[in-house]
Amino acid sequence: MRSIWRTCTRVLGRDLLRDIGLVCLADAIVGISYGAIAVGSGFPVWAPMLLSVLVFAGASQFMFVGIIAAGGSPIAAVAAGLLANTRHLPFGFAIGDVLGKRWASRIAGSHLMVDESVAFALSQRDESRRRAAYWACGTGLFVCWNAGVVAGAYAGTAISDTGAFGLDAAFPAVLLALVLPSLRDRAARLPVFAGVAVALVTTPFLPAGLPVLLALAGVLAGMTTKEPVEPESEGVR
C-alpha cells in the first residue's frame, strides 16, 4: 500500500491527490443519498447496488429512480438516462488516448468515464499525468460511490421518509452547484433557461419522465445562437 501511495504521489503530486480524494468523498456522500432514496422509494436493497455497479452514472441513476418512483414508465426512465449520458461520446474522443490500446483496458476505462475523471485528465498537460489522473480518479470514484450506495441502501431500510433528512435534495444541490458556474457564459444561459421553462410548464400535464426529455428542447434553442466573434487585436495571431 505504501509503495502504491508513493508511486501515485510521485506521478500526480499531493495537491492533485488531495483534490481527487475530496471529490471521491463528496461522491460517496451523494451515493449514500442515492441508495437511501432508492430503497425509501420502494426499490429492493439490491437494485441501487446493481445499478451502481453496472451503470455507474449518478445522473442517470437518479433520473431512473426518480421517474419510476413518480409513476413514470421504465421506457421513459431508460430513455432519460441514455440521453443524459450522450455527453460520453465527446468525452471518449477527448480522452481516448488515456484508455490504452488493449480491449480490456479500453472497456474498463470506458466504464470509469464520468465527468470528474474526464475533467481531471483534461486538466493535465503531461501524458503520463493525464493517464494517472484519469485512472486514479475513476477507480477512486467507483469504489467510493458504490460503498456509499451500499451504506445508503441499508440506511434506507430504516428511514421511512428520506425527505425529512434532506437526502432527496443532495443530488439536485450537487447538479445546481455544477451548473451555476457555466451560467456565466452567455451562450449557455439560453439553453439552460429554455430547458427549465419547458420542464416547469409541462410537468403538471405530462407523465413523469417526459418533461425531462422535452427539456432537451433547450439544446435546440442554444444551437440557434452564436457567440459574436471578437475582432482580432493588432499584433495578436
pLDDT of residue 181: 62
Give the residue, 212 or 89, on which the prediction is more confident.
89
User: If pLDDT is split at 50, 70 and 90, which confidence band does 87 have?
Assistant: confident
| pTM of the model as a whole | 0.69
First to last CA, the chain: 50
Report, as an integer, the average pLDDT of 47-57. 90
Structure confidence by residue, pLDDT tens digits, 195-230: 778 777 877 776 655 666 676 666 666 666 555 444
User: If pLDDT is split at 50, 70 and 90, which confidence band does 97 have?
Assistant: confident
Rounded to 5 degrees, φ, ψ at 59 are -60, -45
Structure confidence by residue, pLDDT tens digits, 164-205: 555 555 556 655 665 666 667 776 677 777 777 877 787 777
Structure confidence by residue, pLDDT tens digits, 107-163: 988 898 988 888 888 888 888 888 888 888 899 999 999 999 999 888 878 765 655
Give the H/E segment covering residue 28: helix 14-40
Q: Mark 32-45 as b/e (b = at least 16 C-beta within 10 Å).
A: bbbbbbbbbbebee
**Which residue from 68, 120, 78 is spatially nearest to 95, judged by alpha carbons?**
120
* Mean residue pLDDT across the chain: 76
User: Domains of the chain: which residue ranges?
Assistant: 2-182, 185-225
Q: Are 68 and 74 in contact (CB under 8 A)?
A: yes
Q: Are 162 and 34 in contact (CB under 8 A)?
A: no
Give the H/E segment covering residue 188: helix 186-202
pLDDT of residue 235: 43
In the predicted structure, residue 5 carries a pLDDT above the cut 60 = no
pLDDT of residue 164: 55
User: CB atoms < 10 A from the CB of 191, how many?
Assistant: 20
Contacts of 84 (CB under 8 A, 6+ apart): 57, 59, 60, 63
As to burial, measured by CB atoms within 10 angstroms (0-12 exposed, 13-18 middle, 19+ buried), residue 150 is middle
- Least trusted range by pLDDT, from 45-59, 68-82, 129-143, 210-224: 210-224
pLDDT of residue 74: 84
Query: For helices 103-111 and 127-156, what crossing angle results, to 10°?
Result: 50
User: If pLDDT is split at 50, 70 and 90, which confidence band does 236 have?
Assistant: very low
Alpha helices in 41-159 (DSSP H): 46-54, 58-69, 74-84, 88-95, 103-111, 115-122, 127-156
pLDDT of residue 207: 64
